Amino acid sequence: MGVNITAYRQISPRPIVLVEEVEPHDPITNEWIGDTCFVAWVDPQYLKQGDNLVHQAGYSFVEEIHIISTMYIHYNELRQELAKMVGHRKGWPGPFSELIDFSDALGAIGPVTCWKLAQDFRQFDGQARFVQYRDFYRIYTNFRLGFEAAADNGAVTLG
């Protein structure tokens, strides 16, 4: 099993009808519109990260940026490396805490949290270059670029 992580720039609410609880369709034409909008899955355990996103609401976007598709274990290892890099403790507010202490499978991160995480990724870019885990810096750079895009009134989704 794996996780797909995607960033969206300049989102706005979009009326949708969910088909089979996951597929967004236009409420008038009933056509699939998943290539022009996404569904926000705001986990009740992570409402803070969701900011003002509405659970199961549709959002259109100006730009979609694929961050990574990987196995859950690799995503969790990446978050562990981030935590080590900044000395993170569970429940500790600090750099990357909103991502480290987030769902490992499904969820949405809203624009305010994306802006904060973009700042964290920029601030720690120099340190990240020296992390010796797999291809950490390449993946880190993908996350940085995704969160920078999402910082422009966007969102990041895991699914």
- Strands of the sheet containing 2-9, edge to edge, are 63-71, 2-9, 155-158, 107-109
Query: For residue 90, what pLDDT band results from cuts at 50, 70 and 90?
Result: confident
pTM: 0.94
Burial class (CB in 10 A: 0-12, 13-18, 19+), 118: buried
pLDDT score recorded for residue 22: 81
pLDDT per position as a tens digit, 99-135: 999 998 899 999 999 999 999 999 999 999 999 988 8
Distance between CA 73 and CA 21 in Å, rounded? 26
Residue 72 confidence (pLDDT) above 80 = yes
Contact 14, 5 (CB under 8 A): no
